[in-house]
Chain A
Amino acid sequence: MSTLVALARAQAFAEGRAQPIATVRHLHVHDHPLVLIPLAMAGEANAPLAVLLGTSVSAPRLLAVSQPRNRDERFTFTADLADAVVPYLASFGEGATEAVPVDRGRDVRHRFVDAPQVWVPNPGGADFLRLLGRSTRFRRTDGDHPVPASVPLLGQWLTWLAATAEVPGSAMLPNTVQALAMHWTTGQSAAEDAHLGSLFAWITGGAAAAREAEAGPVAGPATDPEFDNKILAPLINSSDASSGSGLSEVLLGLLMPTWERMWHSLDLLRALPEGARVGSRWDSDRDAYSAFVAHLEEDGTPQPRRDGAVAAAARLQRLENAAARYAVQRAFDDPLVMAEHRLTGAAFGGTVTLAKADRIDDTGKRPVLRPRIMVATTEPVRVEPGAALTSPARPSQKAKVISVTPTPTGSDVLLELSGGMGRKLVAEPGSVPAVGEHLLLTTLSEAYRPGAAFPDPADTPWTHGGPPSAYEDPAEAVA
């Protein structure tokens, strides 16, 4: 945790209110999200007890298993859930597409103009969906225990959604706890923030309300043991005989506070201005969605239980790139996040004291425009000559550090600029910082990172298990 966020935590404690740690919203918030609160049956391996879901705050829909230990009921439940969720997820794949130039404009590909966004209360909720996807995507629609075709389809969708949630910056399966914690910090520990009711109350009510909320209903997927023993157990035992035992009312009462908090949290997030680079990350999400819709249409094989060696390595690299890009983009979008980097010396702010905008470097084959500027700063500068810096105000321009000279008040940094000034030997107006301009410079870079070259899966070396076997129907016996 950065000192800046830690300080905000201390302030939140002193004031008894959550403090903002972001000045813009770092997350795309959909106009028509699906909010989904899963609840698991204690003691079973990821067996669902209930799900409260809907696309409007005024229309929550409860799906519940009245006898969770009854396998048939659980299958009916998954079929109902599939009928409620899959149409929403698939609907954006029937919408309009837009053309995106690829290969430097020599070709185009199409992607859907919108993608789904499913909100769960906490990371545990996303994990629950991942395992629910795992338990349903290999189910057979024929044979001994056939399920409707929508069930394995739901499994594939959930597996895919849960995989996107691991990509830093992706917003197709966000969770409320992390989304709120990214923008506000409370006066309690991060472990206590995991309780949605408490975190939400810190933001909307204050410290005292948060303590009260702690005793309130949990946001799932695990239920409170007290609730299991005192309320749920008698209801489930009695529902053996009759179905109308009041289970739905109890579950609704348990889930409704979380439901309202989640929708209110969406409003809180929407009230923040969106970060400048949030849109481009949503574009990537739409790309991923379009690719998955295409996969379902063309091939439709369920995701393997485990990735093959090449696929796993490629995925890891994508995740690492996404994490690095996300960290840089948030800093560029938000001065409060950038301040954390200034504190550690990865960025510094200063004033331009000298500028030679028309400097030409003609030592090479062709003369090139290489203006130099001097920036005076009072902040610690932890960069070496030769390092390449960028400024969030001019992301396409590179500034090479020529020298760092200590002064009585800080340092003078001499920089040589390249790029982002037009194609001529005279810089476009405004593209070179003028004397007196306040400038923020950082070692963080948005530059494109080329992906590593991985072998074709068919050429997986024996050290990594050899080529993965072709897809075969991993029909699982119903145990």
Chain B
Amino acid sequence: MNRLDRLRGTGPGKRHNARTVAALTGNPGCSRRAVLDAAGVDKVRLAEHIGFPGSFGQSRFALARGNAFEAMLKADDCALLRSTLGAYVGGYEDLGADEDGTLSARHARTRALLLDASEGLVDHPLLTLEVAGQTVFLEPDLIAYQTGAQLQVVEIKSFAIIDGQADGTAVSAAAVQAAVYVLALRQLLGDDRVSHEVVLVCPENFSLQPVAVVLDVRKQLSTLRRQLSRLASVSALVESLPEALSFDLAQPPAAVVAALSAVDARYAPECLSSCELSVYCRHEAAGSTSALGRPVRDALGGVATIDEALALASGAASPTPDQAEAAALLRAAQRLRDEAVAVAPRPRGEAL
């Protein structure tokens, strides 16, 4: 049993996917998430176990529509997808099957199939990516479209593109995910074999009619590369942890919480939309200025805790030399706020 298996305990391991890799790069300074993901801990169950469940479910209506859209595109040997992409030549190969036992065999087959360079569509290729000193398998829900010398990533998404515009968050999430796939494909085949332009296939307007748009993900790729290289080597991090540490869910909640506190988190409000453990981390970070969001922390002169900021503003605490500038700003703000509230017209009724 290696260190990572001991950290995870008895539960089955969760594998990385493009979404977790993308989220990891969204907050690269968070050691807690890096360790938990490396050990394959089921964060949803962990959060429930310690009493801070998040809601990360997906609506079955959304799933149903997504599946229906994909099935429609892939029906009859991908007839509709082919006409959307303009890819009439070549075969269609589905590497499917989500099984742990066949990982390396499928990876080898993916490799052979993609290196073959004959035109066509390859569904569910199994890719690998180096994340923080670890090789992770990715099972992207994507189609690699081989044309001539280059390979293109095709992502099928079910959000609508209306009059050429789509929801910004959905598009940027799709672009980052696609960039993860491009990166993994490039590691497999070499940089110039995989195009930095990915194809997004979405329903158009208010119908289910598919439309293909090309996204340039060069920017996401360079961000991803930089952040993956910055990710502190997880192996070193794991080595530095106490020998007996474990996040096994068979332990009582208090023991799991104690184990969590051994690994530093870097909580930001953005975590709430992307990390399953965020509700706990928010609870833990209460009282810090960064829990109010990065802009608030910066506006408060980078002072770490709320109490400290308020004490500096009221003059109750004397600033350390490197806080002098922040303290002057905070005192000025406090004075102006008091002055403005004092001269303010009184509310008509009792509002509160």
Contact = CB atoms under 8 A, between A and B. Distances in A.
Interface centre among B65, B272, B273, B343 (most CB of A within 10 A): B65
Interface in B297-339: 299-301, 306-307, 309-310, 313, 329-330, 332-334, 336-337, 339
If over half of A's interface residues share one DSSP class (helix, strand or loop), that class is named, otherwise mixed; here it is: helix
A6 interface: yes
A6 B269 contact: no
A1 B299 contact: yes
Interface string A162-196: 00000000000000000000000001111110000
B102 interface: no
Given A3-B300, A268-B351, A479-B207, A43 B340 contact: no
A273 B300 CA distance: 30
Given A5-B299, A6-B299, 7 more contacts: A13-B306, A189-B291, A223-B59, A228-B59, A268-B351, A271-B348, A272-B348
A335 B338 CA distance: 11
A271 B347 contact: yes
A233 interface: yes
Interface in A1-48: 1-11, 13-14, 20, 23-24, 41-47
5 contacts: A10-B292, A45-B203, A190-B269, A225-B59, A335-B344
B296 A43 contact: no
A43 B66 contact: yes
Given A271-B348, A336-B340, A343-B333, A43 B64 contact: yes
B345 interface: yes
Interface stretch (B28-36, B158-166, B172-180, B233-241): B158-166
B351 to A, nearest CB: 4
A204 interface: yes
Given A23-B341, A134-B163, A335-B343, A7 B350 contact: no
B270 interface: yes
A84 interface: no
B337 A7 contact: yes
Nearest to A479: B207
A338 B341 CA distance: 11
Nearest to A477: B207
Interface residues of B, number: 62
Interface string B271-303: 011000000000000010101110110011100
B20 interface: no
B147 interface: no
B59 A188 contact: no
B292 A188 contact: yes
B339 A45 contact: no
A167 B310 CA distance: 36
A335 B340 contact: yes
Contacts of B65: 43-44
A203 interface: yes
A46 B59 contact: no
A189 B340 contact: no
B337 A339 contact: yes
A42 B59 contact: yes
Contact of A4 (B59, B203, B333): B333
Most buried by B among A5, A7, A131: A7
Given A7-B300, A7-B313, A228 B61 contact: yes
Contacts of B347: 271-273
Interface in B62-107: 62-66
A20 B346 CA distance: 12
Contact of A225 (B57, B309, B352): B57
A376 to B, nearest CB: 17
A10 B163 CA distance: 43
B61 A343 contact: no
B314 to A, nearest CB: 10
Contact of B62 (A6, A43, A187, A342): A43
A2 B272 CA distance: 24
Nearest to B60: A229
B300 A6 contact: yes
Contacts of A46: 160, 162, 206
Interface string A146-160: 000000000000000
Contact of B306 (A5, A14, A45, A305): A14
B209 interface: yes
Interface in B129-164: 158-160, 162-164
Contacts of A270: 349
Contact of A306 (B159, B163, B310, B341): B163
A260 interface: no
A55 interface: no
Contact of A43 (B158, B206, B332): B158
A226 interface: yes
B306 A229 contact: no
A3 B61 contact: no
A454 B300 CA distance: 43
A11 B351 CA distance: 19
B162 A45 contact: yes
A189 B269 contact: yes
A342 B332 CA distance: 9
